[in-house]
Amino acid sequence: MKIRLIALDLDDTLLRSDLTISAGNRKALVNAENTGIEIVLASGRNYISMREYARQLGLDRPGNYLICSNGAETLAAESGEIIEQLRLSREFCHAVSSEIESRGFPWQVYQDGKIFCSEINPWALRDKHLTSQPVEKVEDRQALFENGQIKFVIPGEPEKIAQLYAEFKVLFADQAEVVTSKPYFLEILPKGADKGQALGRLAERLKIPMKAVMAIGDAMNDLGMIKAAGFGCAPANALTVVKASARHVSQRTNEEDAVADLIYSVAL
């Protein structure tokens, strides 16, 4: 089966630890595009923190798409125009923020190019570094939640996040998607917000069968698209559960051009 679309996670997959894209990965993506393969960036990041990477790769042209916010949004890469967007309701936002705070955790949401936090904390400042978005403390949650939100992020020590994940996965089973994007970030998203489901909807829009789709990712929030794609792939640094679900696993890490390795060995 000829691969017609490649979906790529950013952090710890395409990006190195210094948040840059290597020349080797760039070249491999250009070569894949030159054979007619669609390239789609699929990240937990929002459009504000993805658009520069799309620009660097020349993926900000008409007809290019971005899967953002772990599948809650699919946008036109050129303009940020919404193709599909799922949101948490105003009522749910108030309820979930109270549940989070009652357990002693802070939370953050993303709006207007800013990270709004229930309280300023080292994790939020780390997110500021990762995404280049300013951090502000929430002063008026009524206004912030008026039109709902795309997602909540709960930061904390990995061990505590793992415990909270298990609890919230059950608590919100019928109301939201619960996933970890990094060991220290737990995310609560609208139902149906999953990279795999979003990729499936985009592939249908582009009239590309999922068996002709390649997806590369490293973390739990990538698991959906790795399982859904005909060619699910992972770098060597991926979580064990992700590598176990992947059809192809590179012997290279994200620091060693794993994306290029997988493109040449699988897609080309």
Task: Give me the CATH number covering residue 103.
Answer: 3.30.1240.10
| Residue 229 DSSP class | S
End residue of a domain, out of 190, 222, 247: 190
Q: How many domains does the chain have?
A: 2
Residues 99 and 76 occupy one common structural domain: no
Output the six-digit token pair for 91. Answer: 């009522």
The letter for the amino acid at 173 is A
Nearest-5° Cα angle at 86, 149 to 259: 105
Q: Could you count the other beta carbons within 10 Å of the beta carbon of residue 122? A: 9
Task: Give me the CATH number covering residue 13.
Answer: 3.40.50.1000
Structural domain of 49: 5-85+193-267
Rounded Cα distance, 176 and 97, in Å:
13
Rounded Cα distance, 218 and 15, in Å:
11
Output the six-digit token pair for 7. Answer: 């979906």
Kindly list the averaged pLDDT for each block of 10 residues, start to end, along the chain of length 268: 96 97 98 98 96 96 96 96 97 97 97 94 91 94 96 96 96 95 94 96 98 97 97 98 98 98 97
Q: Could you count the other beta carbons within 10 Å of the beta carbon of residue 1? A: 9
pLDDT at site 264: 98
